[in-house]
Amino acid sequence: MAASQALLRRTSLLSKPSTRQLPQFLRSNSTTTTPAHHEEHQRNHTYLKPSDYISSWVTPKTPIEAEAKLASLRREYAKKVKELRKEYWHEMELQRIEKQRKDEATREAIRVEREQRKALKAKEAEAKAKERKVAEEEFRQMLLKEREEKLENWRMKEKLRVEKMTEEKEVLHRKSSLWIDESELEKKILDAMVYAHH
């Protein structure tokens, strides 16, 4: 067992760096931060004010005095923790109210945007409806005009047809007034033949 402890000590000495090598070992194994960054951080860093508790303990003369002082320190600590918790809850409440306000503002912005989009769509739909109504009215007027023109054309054609028929009737009536009776037909044919020979 002693041999194994000696072996363990020897290997631990080999693996651990010596006190001379320790700063170099720590530097090589530390996080890679540049010295300039470290110096700038030290220059710009604001430290908290020293705590009242550090180095505040004065050794009391009797155990009763020590117990009373310790109880007083505990009370002060509990009071400070209570104040810190109150501040924390107050801060959390402020954050919650701020988040709620932002959420409400976002919801309101979304609602306003939605209403604007709806109003714009309604305007576009109204404009399209007006355009469609105008186009339908123009189309109806065009159809009426075409119908009127066709009706006028038909009336003119009908008038011409009636006039032609009337004219034809008159011509036929005039011709029919010149018709010859059957008794005089043979005489007229003979006179025509004689006239044609002369």
Q: Write down the pLDDT at residue 182.
A: 65
φ, ψ for residue 52, nearest 5 deg: -70, -25
End-to-end CA distance of the chain: 179
Task: Determine the average pLDDT of the residues in 135-155.
Answer: 93
Residue-wise pLDDT for 64-116, tens only, equals: 888 888 898 899 999 999 999 999 999 999 999 999 999 999 999 999 999 99
Q: Write down the pLDDT at residue 19.
A: 47
Q: Is the pLDDT of residue 56 over 70?
A: no
Q: Write down the pLDDT at residue 150.
A: 93
pTM for the model stands at 0.37
- The CA distance from 184 to 190, in Å, is 10
Q: Is the pLDDT of residue 11 over 90?
A: no
Secondary structure in 3-state letters for the chain: CHHHHHHHHHHHHHHCCCCCCHHHHHHHHCCCCCHHHHHHHHHHCCCCCCCCCCCCCCCCCCHHHHHHHHHHHHHHHHHHHHHHHHHHHHHHHHHHHHHHHHHHHHHHHHHHHHHHHHHHHHHHHHHHHHHHHHHHHHHHHHHHHHHHHHHHHHHHHHHHHHHHHHHHHHHHHHHHHCCCCHHHHHHHHHHHHHHHHC
